Amino acid sequence: MSVDSQRIARAAPNLEALRTALETFEGCPLKKTATNTVFGTGDPNADIMIIGEAPGAEEDRKGEPFVGASGHLLDRMLSAIGLARENIYITNVLFWRPPGNRNPTSAEVAACLPFVQRHIELVAPSILVFVGAAAAKTLLGRTEGISRLRGKWYGYQLPGATADAPPIPALAMFHPAYLLRTPAQKQFAWRDLLALRAKLEELT
């Protein structure tokens, strides 16, 4: 993680400033091949913040996260538990599309991480949802695959938080793109969605 990206991200006092900082940040090579910076969408005061992996072709074109096929499934998943994308906040661990949707490198993830951390800090959600292995592993600092990580609650602690700062409850789930390819796994996603709904009711 570069000191530069950390310094720039921490200096952003609000979401608009963080978006502008990313739009002028040249520390992630993915930006050179992307059409748009894909920042975040939804309610900046939402109780739930969903973090996915990276923009795909459609997201890159529109500059908005989860607006392609995965996004449509995500919308249906949320609607199954009475939520709409307008009620939550959605972003990714990468703000630019990797060419051809290849997996991001660890250097690309590291360049974006301080911005993701500041993004979480500024939205300050009651609940975090990490969809897919990239988000779950990066933000939980774990190496297990998503099949092991999903369906459990973790406590996400912002770097630099004081010892008495309560961690944010965080749930890992399968990525909708994986569910589109492997519909038999939707039963697990359904369980996770119910756990999310229950946690939301408990906390709000």
The residues binding ligand URA (CB under 6 A) are 52-56, 59, 65-66, 68, 70-71, 92, 132, 177
Q: Which is nearer to ligand URA, 5 or 92 (CB)?
A: 92
User: In the β-sheet with 153-156, what is the strand arrangement from edge to edge?
Assistant: 40-42, 89-92, 48-52, 127-131, 168-173, 153-156
Q: Which is nearer to ligand URA, 3 or 181 (CB)?
A: 181
Q: Which is nearer to ligand URA, 83 or 136 (CB)?
A: 136
Q: In this chain, which residue has its C-beta nearest to ligand URA? A: 52
Going by their DSSP bridges, the two strands 127-131 and 40-42 should be labelled as: unpaired
Minimum CB distance to ligand URA, residue 138 (Å): 12
Q: Which is nearer to ligand URA, 52 or 114 (CB)?
A: 52
User: At which residue do the structure tokens 């200096």 appear?
Assistant: 11
C-alpha to C-alpha distance for 172 and 150, rounded to whole angstroms: 4
Q: Which is nearer to ligand URA, 42 or 65 (CB)?
A: 65
Minimum CB distance to ligand URA, residue 56 (Å): 5
Minimum CB distance to ligand URA, residue 97 (Å): 9
Minimum CB distance to ligand URA, residue 137 (Å): 13
C-alpha to C-alpha distance for 54 and 144, rounded to whole angstroms: 20
Minimum CB distance to ligand URA, residue 66 (Å): 4
